[in-house]
């Protein structure tokens, strides 16, 4: 048998199970809360994960909640305002997020509306194409663009190739800038690239992405399988006029934005179109 990483983990895991069988009492003694976090619920699976962001519901409060939940849970260092900043999910003004649209005449409130940006988990991602080591790759079974922080050599070619600015590089040791390290998630070291992973670690435990969960009440973010016509995202993209960032580049982003609608009374009435 060839010992690759997966087999090694499998064998080591079996050994650990045997060892764990003896002090079962200590395991049971763990606080219920922490057990619940690691408990293996049925994983969430999909053929193509996608997200819909409803910009109409993007209040300052909701946006902050999404960012904070993500950055806290993923041990993202707080280097805000420095050139070394790390961002997995962040807000830009609508005008800025869609700057290529040249939005001259939309109301200024709409221009300034906070718009959440994150990795688009493109169907045809340029970042994985340029990676010289396969440290970033597309998981074919569900379309998530993944990162292997143990393989990344820090050449930053993926950052250069990404049209969305979704990737960050650890210019310095991030651990010194994390307020409280969450032991449930790995920290990174200086010299590697990181980004949003659609919370693949949560999906594996049957939970929705942290940003979605944190803003669940508002319905600002919808997450699900776009290949499933009955999923909430499929219904959302059908029901609303959605736009994607830089669609002209052919990357096929999987994050969709519901744009604010013009009020019905302002909408011009057209006669039915007869070809």
CB of 106 to another protein, least distance (A): 16
Q: Based on the shown chain and the rule CB under 8 A, indicate whether residue 55 belongs to the binding site for another protein.
A: no
User: Which lies closer to another protein via its Cβ, residue 175 or residue 240?
Assistant: 175
Q: Computed over its alpha carbons, how large is the radius of gyration of the chain?
A: 21
CA dist 136 and 192 (Å) reads: 11
CB of 26 to another protein, least distance (A): 38
Torsion sign (Cα): 145, 117, 187, 12: negative
Q: Based on the shown chain and the rule CB under 8 A, indicate whether residue 191 belongs to the binding site for another protein.
A: yes
Of the candidates 56, 190, 205, 240, which one interacts with another protein according to CB under 8 A?
A: 190
Q: Based on the shown chain and the rule CB under 8 A, indicate whether residue 219 belongs to the binding site for another protein.
A: no
* Positions in 229-268 near another protein (CB under 8 A): 249-251
Q: Based on the shown chain and the rule CB under 8 A, indicate whether residue 160 belongs to the binding site for another protein.
A: yes
> H helices of the chain, where?
5-21, 24-28, 32-38, 60-73, 94-97, 108-112, 126-130, 157-161, 200-203, 210-214, 232-239
CB of 139 to another protein, least distance (A): 16
Of the candidates 106, 123, 163, 187, which one interacts with another protein according to CB under 8 A?
A: 163
CA dist 74 and 189 (Å) reads: 13
Site string for another protein, 81-120 (x = CB under 8 A): --xxxxx----x---xx-xx-x------------------
Of the candidates 77, 126, 209, 253, which one interacts with another protein according to CB under 8 A?
A: 126
CB of 174 to another protein, least distance (A): 10
Residue 56 carries which DSSP code? G
User: Which lies closer to another protein via its Cβ, residue 110 or residue 130?
Assistant: 130
Q: Residues 83, 253, 95, CA angle at the centre, nearest 5°?
A: 55
Q: Based on the shown chain and the rule CB under 8 A, indicate whether residue 146 belongs to the binding site for another protein.
A: no
Q: Based on the shown chain and the rule CB under 8 A, indicate whether residue 30 belongs to the binding site for another protein.
A: no
The residue among 177, 165, 138, 170 whose CA lies nearest residue 153 is 170
**What tokens appear for 255 in the block?**
């994050």
Q: How deeply is 271 buried, as exposed, middle or buried, from its count of CB atoms within 10 A (0-12, 13-18, 19+)? A: exposed
CB of 16 to another protein, least distance (A): 28
Q: Based on the shown chain and the rule CB under 8 A, indicate whether residue 132 belongs to the binding site for another protein.
A: yes
114 contacts 58 by C-beta, under 8 angstroms: yes
User: Which lies closer to another protein via its Cβ, residue 90 or residue 223?
Assistant: 90
Q: Based on the shown chain and the rule CB under 8 A, indicate whether residue 192 belongs to the binding site for another protein.
A: yes
> H helices of 59-209, where?
60-73, 94-97, 108-112, 126-130, 157-161, 200-203
**What tokens appear for 16 in the block?**
């650990």
Of the candidates 173, 186, 216, 261, which one interacts with another protein according to CB under 8 A?
A: 173
Give the chain's end-to-end CA distance (angstroms, integer): 67
CA dist 42 and 172 (Å) reads: 37
* Residues contributing to the site for another protein (CB under 8 A): 83-87, 92, 96-97, 99-100, 102, 126, 129-135, 151-157, 159-165, 168-173, 190-193, 249-251
């Amino acid at each position: 048998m060839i010992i690759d990483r997966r087999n090694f983990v499998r064998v080591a895991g079996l050994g650990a199970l045997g060892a764990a069988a003896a002090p079962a009492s200590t395991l049971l003694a763990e606080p219920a809360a922490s057990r619940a976090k690691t408990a293996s619920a049925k994983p969430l699976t999909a053929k193509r994960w996608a997200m819909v962001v409803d910009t109409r519901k993007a209040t300052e409060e909701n946006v902050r909640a999404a960012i904070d939940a993500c950055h806290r849970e993923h041990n993202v260092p707080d280097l805000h305002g420095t050139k070394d900043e790390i961002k997995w999910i962040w807000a830009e003004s609508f005008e800025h997020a869609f700057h290529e649209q040249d939005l001259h005449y939309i109301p200024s409130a709409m221009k300034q509306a906070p718009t959440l940006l994150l990795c688009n988990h493109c169907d045809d991602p340029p970042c994985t194409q340029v990676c010289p080591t396969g440290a970033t790759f597309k998981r074919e079974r569900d379309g998530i663009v993944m990162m292997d922080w143990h393989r990344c050599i820090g050449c930053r070619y993926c950052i250069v190739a990404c049209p969305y600015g979704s990737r960050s590089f650890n210019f310095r040791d991030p651990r010194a800038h994390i307020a409280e390290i969450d032991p449930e998630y790995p920290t990174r070291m200086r010299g590697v690239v990181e980004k949003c992973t659609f919370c693949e670690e949560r999906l594996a435990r049957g939970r929705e992405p942290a940003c979605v969960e944190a803003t669940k009440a508002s319905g600002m973010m919808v997450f699900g399988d776009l290949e499933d016509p009955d999923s909430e995202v499929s219904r959302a993209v059908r029901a609303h006029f959605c736009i994607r960032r830089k669609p002209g580049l052919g990357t096929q982003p999987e994050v969709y934005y519901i744009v604010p609608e013009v009020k019905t009374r302002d909408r011009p009435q057209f006669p039915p179109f007869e070809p």
